[in-house]
């Protein structure tokens, strides 16, 4: 798949954005491919975690707007093309990242701008290099945000800070992003692969049913009442308590040993 490389290593699926000559800018085909890979991972019982990385010095510099705004015949697309395409491209990818019950770890270095910022925000854990730079360039380019950034960003860092990024175009480095709670943690660049891999493998070896349902609860709880959310928690508890990992967790606790979860 052009621009994307994926490989499964046991329970861990690694996906690499592989377009370094364009600072890993995404096009429609890459967005569709990434959406398909995440959807397939969510339906594959052998996949227990996803590690999203990138080739080269940058995570993802955004969407390739030059390609998007040049038609196949060299003419600009007709009015309304973005509005027609977004629901099936970027606006499908972000919900898939949030709603799949497979945990996703993003390893970020260099620029994470536009949809690259959205990918980092939508990941369950984002480990970033001290070279990372987060940017919402929309206002500076004369158009409005997409990819769920105006929904994700205020929920991560608060409305005031989100306005600074979205309206004033403030760029945020990895250390400040960690301080704001935008991402999980910032590490020296030479430790990025080690730390992100360790985190992804930890999730891949966790109680998969419980982790997946907990991810679902966190996402669903953003838009439900307490009463409805408590019902969801009871439902998740019922499902997770029927898993083999639950029985293994109890046995490990009683025997005072580390649990060996199988994802079942």
**Could you report the per-residue pLDDT of 138-151, keeping only the tens digit for each?**
888 888 888 899 99
CA distance 82 to 112: 22
CA distance 49 to 263: 11
Q: Mean pLDDT across the stretch 10-24? A: 96
Q: Quick check: 44 pLDDT over 60?
A: yes
Residue 263, pLDDT score: 92
Q: Mean pLDDT across the stretch 200-225? A: 95
pLDDT digits (tens, 9 = 90+) for 166-199: 999 999 999 999 999 999 999 999 999 999 999 9
At residue 179's C-alpha, the angle toward residues 176 and 180, to 5°, is: 90
CA distance 45 to 204: 12
Q: Mean pLDDT across the stretch 201-213? A: 96
Q: Mean pLDDT across the stretch 36-55? A: 97
Residue 71, pLDDT score: 53
CA distance 117 to 142: 18
pLDDT band at 74 (very low <50, low <70, confident <90, very high): low
* Contact between residue 114 and residue 87 where contact means Cβ atoms under 8 Å apart: no
Give, for 140, the enclosing helix (H) or strand (E).
helix 138-141
- What residues contact residue 220 under an 8 Å CB cut-off, 6+ apart? 229, 232
Q: Quick check: 80 pLDDT over 80?
A: no
CA distance 69 to 72: 10
Residue 175, pLDDT score: 97
* 239, two tokens: 């499902």
Residue 142, pLDDT score: 87
Residue 65, pLDDT score: 63
- Please tell me the pTM assigned to this model: 0.90
Q: Quick check: 8 pLDDT over 70?
A: yes
CA distance 184 to 242: 31
Residue 72, pLDDT score: 53
Which range among 74-78, 115-119, 178-182 shows the weakest confidence by mean pLDDT? 74-78
Residue 75, pLDDT score: 62
Q: Quick check: 68 pLDDT over 60?
A: no
CA distance 30 to 19: 10
Average pLDDT, the chain: 91
Q: Quick check: 88 pLDDT over 80?
A: no
- What residues contact residue 35 under an 8 Å CB cut-off, 6+ apart? 89, 92, 93, 96
Look at strands 125-129 and 185-187 and give their pairing.
parallel
């Amino acid at each position: 798949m052009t621009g994307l490389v994926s490989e499964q290593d046991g329970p861990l699926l690694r996906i690499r954005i592989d377009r370094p000559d364009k600072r890993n800018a995404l096009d429609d085909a890459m967005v569709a491919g990434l959406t398909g890979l995440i959807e397939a991972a969510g339906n594959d019982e052998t996949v227990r975690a996803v590690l999203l990385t990138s080739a080269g010095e940058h995570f993802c510099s955004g969407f390739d707007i030059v390609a998007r705004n040049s038609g196949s015949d060299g003419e600009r697309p007709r009015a309304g093309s973005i509005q027609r395409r977004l629901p099936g491209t970027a606006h499908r990818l972000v919900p898939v990242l949030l709603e799949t019950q497979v945990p996703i770890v993003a390893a970020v270095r260099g620029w994470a701008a536009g949809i690259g910022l959205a990918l980092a925000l939508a990941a369950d854990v984002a480990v970033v290099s001290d070279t990372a730079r987060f940017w919402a360039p929309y206002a500076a380019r004369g158009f409005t945000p997409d990819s769920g950034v105006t929904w994700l960003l205020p929920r991560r860092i608060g409305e005031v800070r989100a306005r600074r990024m979205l309206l004033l175009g403030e760029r945020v480095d990895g250390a400040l992003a960690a301080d704001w709670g935008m991402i999980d943690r910032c590490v020296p660049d030479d430790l990025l692969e080690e730390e992100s891999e360790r985190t992804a493998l930890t999730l891949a070896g966790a109680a998969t049913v419980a982790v997946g349902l907990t991810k679902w609860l966190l996402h669903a709880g953003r838009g439900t009442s307490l009463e409805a959310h408590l019902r969801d928690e009871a439902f998740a508890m019922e499902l997770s308590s029927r898993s083999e990992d639950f029985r293994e967790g109890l046995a490990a606790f009683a025997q005072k040993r580390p649990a060996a979860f199988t994802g079942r």
